């Protein structure tokens, strides 16, 4: 029987698994894997592997995931790419009609692909409006292009706007472009481009692919090394561009600033925990080296805020560090 992994932000996967059991009865070879605020991408990746290891059938696995482009999806995508199983397949937009349909379909299907093909339409059609006449017609949004950052056919030396790229929002986030950034922050900031700046990620084709897949509709996403950001910062052809910039670590941000790129304000969204790091709040963990790096950035004239999503209150990183005797 096809095995099923439910993957989500928070306890949604656990809750919908319980709801599915109420409707369809207890199920074998089904696991819920949840992303909690204190976890990084590698933690989610390991939890997915641990869940799959409990299945009787590990060759035929269907992943039902909450959100395209979020960390659960990105790590499922990574697994599918790395593990090389022919019958591992994922569907996003997890809802109860999808899950109940999957439970029924796998009773008569031998492969995860066959289950996916049976349940896709039912999962989509499970989104309905009452009164019925208010249900809008829907069209699939066009995927955002992922071309490299370039000025295209604009001649070198051309000045657009005031000749200086606009950094509408700059963020440190271990997960880079994920659900919260691709949805909540993109709607808040409304950038023309999202620049994911990392020397490591820009040379990792798998991670680049995962990030560009998370692109919100209508926004170009580019994964570039720090040196490319420095070039873009000085190129007057980007003077009409409104950019969101994402850094994986404060160290990458500091390197960009030391090469001449200046950011008046930076939001710290998340810094994943690891051995030797102190947990500052639900989303941030750091060590002495991180604190020293943040101080150097502050001394460059950059103001920090701490905010995971736009609806959260804005915190002061220095007050948080002081509470942990790290400031």
Candidates 9, 60, 220, 222; catalytic one: 9
Q: How many CA atoms lie within 13 A of 168 on its CB side?
A: 17
Burial of 14 (0-12, 13-18, 19+ CB in 10 A): middle
Q: What's the Cα-to-Cα distance from 204 to each of 64, 171, 173, 209, rounded to whole Å?
A: 26, 21, 18, 9
For 297, phi then psi, to 5°, come to: -65, -45
Tokens of 178: 């994920």
Measured CA to CA, the distance from residue 261 to residue 231 in angstroms comes to 10
Is 45 catalytic? The answer is: no
Measured CA to CA, the distance from residue 326 to residue 280 in angstroms comes to 10
Query: Which residue pairs from 203-206 have beta carbons closer than 8 angstroms and sit at least 24 positions apart in sequence?
Result: 206/78, 206/81, 206/82
SS3 category, 220: strand
Give the angle 45-48-50 at the CA atoms, nearest 5°.
110
Describe the chain by its helix, strand, coil percentages, rounded to 5.
Answer: 40, 20, 40
Candidates 45, 60, 178, 220; catalytic one: 178
For 94, phi then psi, to 5°, come to: -50, 125
Is 303 catalytic? The answer is: no
Measured CA to CA, the distance from residue 316 to residue 277 in angstroms comes to 19
Work out whether the CA dihedral 71, 74, 79, 80 comes out positive or negative.
positive
Q: DSSP per residue over 75-99, as a string?
A: HHHHHHHHH--TEEEEEES--HHHH
Whose CA is closest to 198, among 233, 166, 222, 169?
A: 222
Task: List Cβ neighbours of 176 (8 Å cut-off, separation of 6 or more).
Answer: 196, 198, 201, 211, 246, 248
Residues identified as active-site: 9, 178
């Amino acid at each position: 029987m096809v095995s099923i992994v439910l993957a989500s932000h928070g306890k949604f996967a656990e809750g919908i698994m319980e709801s599915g059991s109420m409707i369809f009865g207890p199920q074998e070879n089904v696991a819920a894997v949840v992303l909690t605020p204190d976890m990084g991408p590698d933690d989610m990746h390991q939890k997915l592997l641990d869940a799959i290891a409990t299945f009787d059938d590990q060759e035929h696995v269907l992943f039902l995931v909450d959100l395209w482009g979020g960390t659960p999806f990105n790590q499922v995508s990574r697994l599918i790419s790395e593990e090389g199983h022919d019958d591992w397949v994922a569907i996003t937009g997890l809802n109860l009609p999808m899950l109940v349909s999957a439970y029924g379909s796998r009773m008569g299907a031998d492969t995860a692909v066959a289950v996916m093909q049976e349940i896709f339409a039912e999962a989509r059609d499970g989104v309905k409006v009452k009164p019925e006449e208010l249900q809008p017609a829907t069209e699939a949004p066009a995927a955002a292009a992922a071309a490299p950052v370039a000025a295209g056919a604009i001649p070198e030396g051309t000045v657009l706007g005031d000749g200086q790229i606009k950094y509408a929002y700059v963020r440190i986030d271990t997960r880079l472009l994920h659900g919260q950034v691709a949805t909540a922050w993109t709607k808040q900031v409304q950038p023309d481009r999202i620049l994911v700046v990392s020397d490591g990620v820009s040379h990792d084709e798998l991670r680049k692919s995962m990030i560009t897949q998370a692109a919100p509709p209508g926004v170009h996403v580019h994964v570039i090394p720090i040196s490319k950001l420095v070039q873009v910062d000085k190129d007057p052809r980007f003077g009409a561009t409104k950019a969101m910039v994402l850094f994986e670590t404060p160290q990458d941000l500091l390197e960009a600033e030391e090469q001449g790129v200046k950011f008046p304000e930076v939001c710290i969204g998340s810094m994943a925990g690891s051995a030797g790091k102190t947990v500052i709040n639900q989303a941030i963990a750091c060590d002495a080296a991180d604190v020293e790096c943040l101080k150097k950035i502050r001394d460059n004239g950059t103001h920090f805020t701490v905010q995971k999503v736009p609806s959260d209150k804005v915190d002061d990183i220095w007050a948080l560090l002081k509470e942990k005797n790290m400031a």
